[in-house]
Structure 1
Amino acid sequence: MITLLSVYVDLALGVVLAFLLLSLLVSGVNEAFVRLLAIRSKFLWAFLRDTLDGSDAQGRSWLPAGVRDVFAALPFARDPRPPHSDQPAPAEAATVPAQETKAQDAVTNLLYQRVREIDHPTRGRTSIANLPPGRFAGAVLEMAAAEEGGVDGLLAKLKSMGSPLHGHLKGVWESAQRDLDRFRQGVESWFDGEMHRLSMLYKRYVKWVLAALGLVVTLLFTMDGLEYGKTLLRDNAFRASVTAVTEAGPDAYDELRARCERSDPVPCITETLSQPALVKVFDHAIVSVSVPAEGDPAVHWNGAAWWDRLTTPSHWPGYLLTYVALMFGAPFWWDVLRRITGIRSRHHG
């Protein structure tokens, strides 16, 4: 009974570890693209341009309306981020122009002037991807202080420009009963809610990218989850045979001789045990890496074998299982691994 339980625990650990590694690969590739293309920063500034100045000169919303726009147009066609400036925020906020076209993005540029001290360049554009609500509220108050009439003057300018920000700030100003401290707190709360809504929108779009990357990883590695489980069980049986030989002698040699009938048993057993199922599962990728006992690692192109395996219908249920497993994400599989192994998270008091 204990031996059978150990087999099942080994099987669960092997499957969970494989799914965890592949999920980490999916997350890593996604994060690399996000950082390389500055998606988070572009997402933030597209929202700010829509909120502060409205649509662009062509009447299009800066914030993408669909998944295709987020991961096609936004990274490559339209960069909503302001140009980077290495100058600190001016001591006195500039006033909002009385007349301004939406194409010039006057309010967005004024906001960037007030927050650019937390910026560093990314290919000539701002890299700010997170704007704390307190910083945003402070920038709004500084812009209001530069206007004749304070907040009322700022609201009048925003209304004359047709800025969508006018309606939001007017509601907060009225709710605060024209008290500056309450107004600042109201702006912080409003902007914090908007950032939360934007985060939810961003995560929804990212799910589509993770789904696409999960499919690509599954197919490139031709990871058959069902076959992998059977390989783990065969590995356990093989290890049991090796143990039986050492304990029971030549009578338990049949299975080992069957596997190593054309080679010296000792090197054959050593080679087999040094390549567990978790290592061998990656041998089916379109490109594989082998590490020989002597010499340098070698890269192999498995195009023909990979295509034959990919187009074999008997593997498709296993591919589907792997794909669905990857959709749960690396945090899920890490939590499962912790539960199986008893690893506890470290909490700092």
Structure 2
Amino acid sequence: MQGGGVITLLSLYVDLALGLVLSFLLLSLLVSGLNEAFVRLLAIRSKFLWAYLRDTMDGSDKEGRSWLPASVREVFAVLPFTRDPRPRHSDQPAPPEAGELPAQETKGEDAMINLLYQRVREIDHPKQGRTSIANLPPGRFATAVMELAAAEDGGVEGLLAKLKAMGSPLHGHLKGVWESAQRDMERFRTGVETWFDGEMQRLSMLYRRYVKWVVAALGLVVTLVFTMDGLEYAKTLLRDNAFRASVTAVAESGPDAYGELKARCENANPVPCITDTLSQPALVKVFDHALVSLSIPEEGDPAVHWNGPTWWDRLTTLSHWPGYLMTYVALLFGAPFWWDVLRRLTGIRSRR
């Protein structure tokens, strides 16, 4: 009997862990999906790339402001809505020869960014009249630089002189690579590719640092909209598992184990009550507290219910807030973390 009790208790805890992990995984996937939808809708990745390229190749704008955001506030306020750093889309193929840089000793009006876009626009497609390029391969960037150098008198030396005269920040980077390559063209191309690859890795780290704030905000919204109380859900899981165990006990032991069923279905017909309870697991019932819920009856079409008053009462009940905090912290770990935990608990092997 002791062995059976230990196994039953262990099974309850395993079911509890799986239920919590699965619920956190589903909510984390929802947060990730919302984040990806905003990123695609507002073309955030593309704007980050071209803001960096403008700062690196042409420098700050006329007012001396950097195109790349310097704070989280600017990510929400500047990049998505104003000062779009992306060039205008063009459906024309790249010209056979790269254009020359301005000869005057002043900063050209976005000369470098426009020349670069001419060399890479064959891989572009429009998005609201702007370029949608969000990933520029280092090899493609290095080839574009070599083509720009070929268009100048004196090759790389001439390109560096023009960049210096224009006040382009790219001059210092390319000059360092040129000196390191000992003025060898092939080594210079490889050096530019390596340098740009490192810059893209740094930009990716900067992008992820900003995105985590977006994910944190979305996680809070999802937790409050669904009013997902992690502590209450754990208790519901344990009660649900105990009820299922009592159903099994009735089937195996007869009427002597009828106590739990009688308590649960005291004012209803036991058979429909048991059927309804077993067909609505805790994972389904926990989402009934959302601002909008969905019900699928046995007959008829699915129905959407507005739970505004009930949702507000639940949201303003302070006893639920420790559970909300637990859920919110869990969502900050992200969907990959909870998928890995679920995979370890269930033994699912990862395919690489």
Q: TM-score by structure 2 length?
A: 0.97
**Number of the residue aligned with 1:279:** 284
The reply on whether 1:342 has 2:347 as its aligned counterpart is yes
Equivalent residue in structure 2 for 1:48, among 45, 53, 64:
53
Question: Does residue 25 of the first structure (1) align with residue 40 of the second (2)?
Answer: no
In the TM superposition, residue 58 of structure 1 has moved relative to its aligned partner by: 1.6
Q: In the TM superposition, what is the alpha-carbon distance from 1:254 to its structure 2 partner?
A: 2.3
Is the Cα–Cα contact under 8 Å of residues 133 and 192 in structure 1 kept in the other structure?
yes
Partner of 1:225: 230
Equivalent residue for 1:326, pick from 327, 331, 342:
331
Give the Cα separation in 1 of the matches to 2:322 and 2:98. Answer: 62
CA distance in 2, matches of 1:102, 1:324: 48
Residue of structure 1 equivalent to 2:182? 177
After TM superposition, the structure 1 = structure 2 runs for residues 50-89 of structure 1, keeping only pairs within 5 Å, are: 50-89=55-94
Q: 1:3 aligned to 2:18?
A: no
Residues 177-216 of structure 1: CA deviation (Å, up to 9, x unaligned): 1110111111111111111110000000001011111111
Q: What RMSD over aligned residues (CA atoms) do the two structures have, in Å? A: 1.1
Give, in whole Å, the separation in 1 of the partners of 2:253 and 2:107: 85
Are the equivalent residues in 1 in contact too, given 2:22–2:342 (CA < 8 A)? yes
* 1:225-250: CA deviation from partner (whole Å, max 9, x where unpaired): 11111100001110011111111222
Q: Deviations over 1:262-305 (max 9, x none)?
A: 22111111111111010011011111111111111111111111
Give the unaligned 5+ runs of structure 1: none
Aligned partner of 1:114 in structure 2 is 119
Q: Which residue of 1 aligns with 2:272?
A: 267
SS at 2:304's partner residue? strand
Moved more, 334-343 or 240-249: 240-249
Residue 81 of structure 1 contacts residue 125 of structure 1 at CA under 8 Å; is this kept in 2? yes
The aligned counterpart of 2:306 is 301
1: CA distance, partners of 2:55 / 2:134: 16
Q: Measure how far apart 1:100 and its partner are.
A: 7.7
> How many corresponding residue pairs?
347
- Conservation of the 8 A alpha-carbon contact between 1:56 and 1:102: no
Shift of 1:86: 1.0
Q: Which 4+ residue blocks in structure 1 deviate beyond 2 angstroms?
A: 99-104
Moved more, 241-250 or 156-165: 241-250
CA distance in 2, matches of 1:226, 1:100: 67
Say whether residues 1:154 and 2:159 are aligned partners: yes
Match of 1:248 in 2: 253
Q: Which shows bigger deviation, 248-257 or 335-344?
A: 248-257
Q: Distance in 2 between matches of 1:99 and 1:213?
A: 49
Q: TM-score, normalised by structure 1?
A: 0.97
How far apart, in 2, do the equivalents of 1:254 and 1:137 lie?
76
Q: 1:121 to 1:100 in 2, by over 3 A?
A: farther
Deviates more, 1:199-208 or 1:245-254: 245-254
What amino acid sits opposite 1:157 in the alignment?
Answer: K
Out of 187, 191, 204, the position equivalent to 2:192 is 187
